[in-house]
Structure formats: structure tokens, C-alpha cells
Structure 1
Amino acid sequence: MTSTIEDGSGNALAAQPAPMRLSRRKRAGLLRYAAGRVLQMLPTMALIVLTTFILLRLAPGDIVQVLAGEAGGGNPEYLDELRKSFGLDQPMPIQFGKYVVQLLHLNLGYSFRFHVPVSELIGGRLAATLLLMSAGLVLAIVLGIPAGVAAARFEGGIVDKLVSSTSLLIYATPSFLLGITLIVVFSVWLRWLPFGGMVDPYGIDGWAARTASVARHIVLPAFTIGLFYGAIYARLVRNLMIEVAGEDFVQTARSKGLSTSRVVLRHVLRNAMLPLVTVIGMQAGSMIGGSILVETIFAWPGIGRLAFEAVFQRDYNLLCGIVLCSSAAVVIINLLVDLTYMLLDPRVRIR
């Protein structure tokens, strides 16, 4: 499946036309493209499952050693009996075959550490992670795109220099240091916001109070994510808009007497959005897998923190399930990004 850009006027530099409704033929092509991409995902997901399973099984230690250490030790016979009950005494190919059979039945396995199915653990933490990632992504877009537009609009001026230097400073700062800085300033010094958890442990009476508590707790972790990715978007939008502003169709629009704001928004920014959407889509997927550090710093009860706990407790079934779900989310998000191109640019035709 390939994507081609068609320009009805025959001019490759023409401004984007106004959005139009998708024809029946184009909708059918879109569905065929989506079906083909889904089929292409299957070998990718199979390779992810195989690689994750092998790497985790080759890592030193297992859940039996963790449980024995918490219990104060145990004789070799007891440890062997535990491994047998968990199925860890079988050869790796047999273990992998049983795991694949479970996946085919939509069963992610059982967490021997938490004594509940893996799907229940992930389902209980998924909403918290999606909420945090969505808030961080929205903040990154709201902060990054206007900053990039302003920097490009006043290229070489004080606004451009301020946006460029600030975004570079934020991008160069590790996320854990940025989060700790926000905690020190807004939680320790000013005492405006809580520094950990998702909701207050007491004083919650009704959904309104719970919603307000979650909103207060999500500010710092969301800004930790939003500032970092917003700095990337600001620099990207600035560079893309400066590049597009030099094209012939932009000069033509200006020569027709169009206002500066109309040229910037309707012609420059709109043509610079496709590369930006690609980057946003790729990073939206990586946010899910890269949330471990932020969720650990702020004690946010999401999938990232659950993965951190699974690593130290050698809960391989749980860790495999988290990696599989995160990988599936990344693949699906990238598919949605490709399909979004048709909404942003009607000239894109999926064959």
C-alpha cells in the first residue's frame, strides 16, 4: 500500500484546497489500506511477543527467588516445587508455546506476585495512564504549536530567540530532573499542588470532590510531560513554517493582498502540519511506554509504574502483558496517524 499526493491543478506548490467529503471510492480505498495495515501488524506483534518472552526468560532471577527472599529463604526442594507449580521448570519452547496459546484465547496470563489475572491489573491501571498521557499531549500541543508559530512569525527577533533558547533548555533537561524541579517549586516551596498520587487519601465525598482532587494531582506530572514534548513541537513548527514560508505559493498569496494572519494560518501552518502530525503520532505511542519515569516520580498509579514494580518483582507474565499492550498501542496509533492524513490533506489518495 502506498500513499501519493495528487494536485488537481498540476502545480506541486499549490496551496491546500479546502476539506471535502470523501467519495465512496476513496472510503473503500481507505478501508482496504487499513485492512492491509492490520494484516501487516500481525507479524510485527508476533516478533514483539517472541523477543520479549526470550529476553525476559534470559534475565537473571525469577519470581520464585523473589518470593523465597520475602519469606526469609527456603530449601532447594521447596524452590523446585514452586517453579514446577508456576511452570518454570519446563523448557523455554514449551513455556512459549503455552503462552502463545493463552494469547490466542485473549488471555494475558496470571500474575503470581499479585495473585490476579494480568488483564485485570493492566485494565485497572490503563485509565490512569491514558488520562496522564492525554493531558500531557494536549499541553504539549497547546504550548508547543503557538510557541513555534510565534517564533517563525518573528524570525530572528527577540520572540524567536526566547522561544528557541527556552525550548532547547527544556529539551536538554532530563524528565526526572524537570519533574523534581516542579515538585520542589510548586509542592515544597509554594505548597500549591500535591506532589504524589492520583487522588487525596481522605476528604473525598462525591464525584465532584474526586474530580477536583484528580485535577490537582495531575497538573505536575502532565506539565512534566507536556513541557518536554512541547519544546520539541515548538522547534519543529518553527523550522517547518520557515521552510514553507519560502515557497512560491506563499509569495503568491501575499502578493494577492491577503492578511499576514491568513497567510500564516491558512497556507503556511496548514502545509506544515503533516510532518508535525507524524511526529505527534510517533511520540504519542512512545509516551505510553516511556511513562515509567514520570509515573514513578509522582507515584502515579499507571501502567508505567506497574511495569517498574513488575521488573523488580520478576513478574514476567505481567511484564510481557504490559510490553505487548504498549506495543499494540504504538502500532495502532501510527495507523491512525496515517489515516489522519486524508482529513488534513484531501489530495492524499490511499491506493
Structure 2
Amino acid sequence: MRALKAALWRLAQAVPVALMVVVLNFFLLKAVPGDMADVIAGEAGAATPEFMAQLRSQFGDDQPLPAQFIAYVKKVATFDLGWSFRYNASVASLIFDRLAATLLLMGLALLLAVLLGSALGVVAATTRQGWLRRLIGLFATLGFALPAFWLGLMIVVLFTLKLGWLPSSGLDTMGSDAHGWAYLRDVTVHLVMPVGCLAFSYLAMYIRLMHEAVRDVSQLDFVRTARAKGSSRRRQVWRHVVPNALVPVVTLTGVQFGALLSGSVTLETVFAWPGLGQLALAAVSSRDINLLLGLLFVTSLFVVVVNLLTEAVHGWLDPRIEHGARR
């Protein structure tokens, strides 16, 4: 019952956040100079004032800003994200056609970064081998220092152009009619470089964070008590230290989910990945406001949902957080 009340309270807190996102997205995008009529006129080379007025009337940009906002809110309230005049398709269909590719890339990259980074952080904090600790530290430093887009270009040059081991672009082989396991293998091969590159960019943060968290938790009284009772070193680390050190890692994971979308825009361009990043870039270039609003709304909702899940995991890992929130 308490868990249900806590979940409902978090959901109630998320509603005004979602409403604020809708308002800010709309007015910030409307404040940007230029619209799709300007882009179409530029592509045509010239356009008469009558033609420009007709375009703006078709796009709904000739209405006063408050009227445009009310119409937009009514559509969002009915889960209608509008129409993309650039693609001549509904915004919802465009987004959900590419959402799976982006979530696959982001999810695998984040999972790899969290698991490998946390494991290396634990090893760095607990190992007695100085060379291993320095090697992990060097690996983390490289993760901070190398830009993701540069690393992506370099591994394309190495593994595609030089060695010919991995495909450089796309979700699958163009024109392939593979099915079942053959298709799964094809997609997996295409995932290796973009997932590895994106995960490497965030890996260093988890190594450093887990390393510091393990060292701090190891000095707490309950760990010293377990040590005084004769608990083995391995049991101390995995039973007492690691579960408590995971709390800041979970926090960072929730924050990184939103940041991953902006990072995936760059890598989706480098690897020609058919995801939301490529779609957002095309929407910005063509001033497709309806598509941009839809993208911002959907991704903002995902961030809100992930934050709710992060708080729930916090309460599960450390019940004191949940009790403190209720007080």
C-alpha cells in the first residue's frame, strides 16, 4: 500500500512537469526565427508574397500565437502530435518508426557502460594490484579525453576501411532479405561500432563514480562491523559495499538517459543510424516545427518516466531515501 501511494505521489508530481515541458517547448521553438515557408521558398529560389501567405496559412502559422498554442495543447491532450508537412506524414508515425532504433542504441550503450564501468570501478577500488588500478585509471582518462564523434570516425577508418570487419552505417544491410537468426546477426554486427563508441564515451564516468562510492562506503561503520566479525573480503564487498555504492550510479544513469539522446544525434550522423537523432537533425534543417515539438515532447516524457523509475530504484536500494521523502 505504501509503495502504491509513493508511486501515485511521484506520478502526481510528474504531471506539472509534463505540462511545463509542453509550454516551454512550444514558446521556445516559436521564438526561433524562420519557419518552413522560408525553407520552401529558399529551396524554390524565389516565392511571391501571396505564395508565402498561402504556405503559412496551410501550416497554421498565420494565426496569433495564443491561438496556435491553444490548438497545440488540444492536440497534445488527445495524443495527436500533428502533421509533418515536410514528410507528408503524421508526426507520431515518424517518431515511433524510428524510436525503436534509438532506444536499441541508447539502451545497449547505457547498459554496457553501467555494467562494465561499475565492475571496473569496483575492481579499481578493491584490487591490491597497482598496475591493474593504473590501467583502469588510464582507460577512464581516455574515455573522458576522446570525443565521441572523433572516436566514431577513427573506428570506422580502422574496422571498415582498413580491416573490412564491420559495416560502417545503417541498422541492417541494405537490400538484405535475411530473416530470423540471420537478420539478428546482421543487426548485431551493425550495432557493434555505434554501441561500443557511445558506451565508451560514458564508461569513464561510471568507473570514477563507482570507484569513489566503493571507497567511501568501505569506511562506514556497518562495513567495519562486518570486518570485525570476521566476514571475508569478498562478502564485505559484494554483500555490504556494492549494494550501497550503487545509489549514486543509479542517479547518474537516470541523468545520462536524457543526455544520451543528444549524444546519439552526433553518432547517428557518423554511423547513418536511422533513429530519432537523424530525424531531429532533418527537422531542424527544414524548420519542421510540428515534428520538432513532437520529438521534444516524446523525449521529455521518456526523461520524466526514467526519473520516476530512478526514484523507485533508489527506494528499493536504500529504504531510508523513501522514508525521508515521505517525511
* TM-score between the two structures when normalised by the length of structure 1: 0.88
Matching of residues 7-18 of structure 1 within 5 Å? none
Alpha-carbon distance between aligned partners in 1 of 2:175 and 2:15, rounded to the nearest angstrom: 46
Aligned to 1:12: none
Partner secondary structure for residue 175 of structure 2? coil
Task: Find the counterpart in structure 2 of residue 15 from structure 1.
Answer: none
Residues 1:203 and 1:120: Cα distance change in structure 2 (over 3 Å):
closer
Deviates most, 82-91 or 170-179: 170-179
Give the % identical residues: 42
> What is the deviation of 1:251?
2.2
Correspondent of 1:163 among 136, 151, 156: 136
- Out of 300, 310, 313, which is 1:327 matched to? 300
* Contact 2:283 2:289 (8 Å CA) reproduced: yes
- Which whole-Å CA distance do the structure 2 matches of 1:339 and 1:318 have between them? 32
1:133 — aligned with what? 106
- The one-letter amino acid paired with 1:166 is F
Q: Does 1:194 align with 2:181?
A: no
Q: Counterpart of 2:309?
A: 336
Which sections of structure 2, spanning at least 5 residues, go unmatched? Answer: none
CA shift for structure 1 position 154:
2.4
Q: 2:181 aligned with 1:208, yes or no?
A: yes
| 1:228, distance to aligned residue in structure 2 (A) | 1.5
Letter in 2 for 1:112: F
- Once the two structures are TM-superposed, the CA of residue 349 in structure 1 deviates from its matched residue by 4.0
Instruction: Map 1:307-322 onto structure 2 (within 5 A).
Output: 307-322=280-295
Alpha-carbon contact 1:286-1:330 (below 8 Å) kept: no
Alpha-carbon offset, residue 254 of structure 1: 2.0
2:150 counterpart of 1:146: no
Structure 1 SS opposite 2:70: helix
- Are the equivalent residues in 2 in contact too, given 1:136–1:226 (CA < 8 A)? yes
- Corresponding pairs, count: 324
Judging by fraction of residues, say which structure has more helix: 2
The equivalences for 1:89-104 within 5 A come to 89-104=62-77
Q: Check 1:58–1:342 CA distance in 2 against 1; reply closer, same or farther (3 A cut).
A: closer
Instruction: Letter of the 1:137 partner, please give it.
Output: L
The CA distance in 2 between the partners of 1:155 and 1:282, in whole Å, is: 32
Contact preservation (8 Å) 1:241, 1:269: yes
Q: Which residue of 2 aligns with 1:225?
A: 198
- Is 1:58 the counterpart of 2:23? The answer is no
Give 3-state SS (helix, strand or coil) of 1:97's partner.
Answer: helix
Question: Which residue number in structure 1 is paired with residue 215 of structure 2?
Answer: 242
- Cα drift, residue 58 of structure 1: 1.7
- Listed as ranges, the gaps of 5+ residues in structure 1 are 1-27
Indicate conservation of the 8 Å contact 2:244/2:317, yes or no: no
**What is the root-mean-square deviation in Å for CA atoms of aligned residues?**
1.6
The answer to whether the 8 A contact 1:196-1:299 is kept is yes
Structure 1 position 155, deviation (Å):
6.2
In the superposition, relative to structure 1, how do residues 58 and 349 fare at CA in structure 2: closer, same or farther (>3 Å)?
closer
Which stretch has the larger CA shift, 182-191 or 80-89?
182-191
More divergent stretch after superposition (79-88 vs 252-261): 252-261
Q: Specify which of 62, 79, 85 is matched with residue 106 of structure 1.
A: 79
> With structure 2 as the length reference, what TM-score do the two structures score?
0.94
**1:11 matched to which residue of 2?**
none
Residue matched to 1:178: 151
Structure 1 position 343, deviation (Å): 2.8
Determine which structure has greater relative contact order: mean sequence separation of CA pairs < 8 Å that are 6+ residues apart, divided by chain length.
1
Residue 98 of structure 1, CA deviation:
0.6
* Secondary structure at 2:107 match in 1: helix
Task: Provide the C-alpha distance between the structure 2 equivalents of 1:304 and 1:155, rounded to a whole number of angstroms.
Answer: 43
**Contact preservation (8 Å) 2:143, 2:202:** no
How much does 1:52 deviate?
A: 1.5
Deviations 1:238-284 (A, max 9, x none): 01111111222222222322222111111111111111111112212
Shift of 1:289: 4.3
Mapped to 2, the partners of 1:72 and 1:347 lie a distance apart of 64
Measured in 2, the distance between the counterparts of 1:349 and 1:307 equals 37
Moved more, 132-141 or 64-73: 64-73
Partner residue of 1:303 out of 257, 273, 276? 276
Structure 1 residue 254 and structure 2 residue 227: aligned? Answer: yes
Given that 1:289 and 1:326 are in contact with CA atoms closer than 8 Å, whether structure 2 keeps it comes out as no
Matched, 1:268 2:241: yes
Please say which of residues 267-276 and 285-294 is displaced more in the overlay.
285-294
Aligned residue for 1:90, secondary structure, equals coil
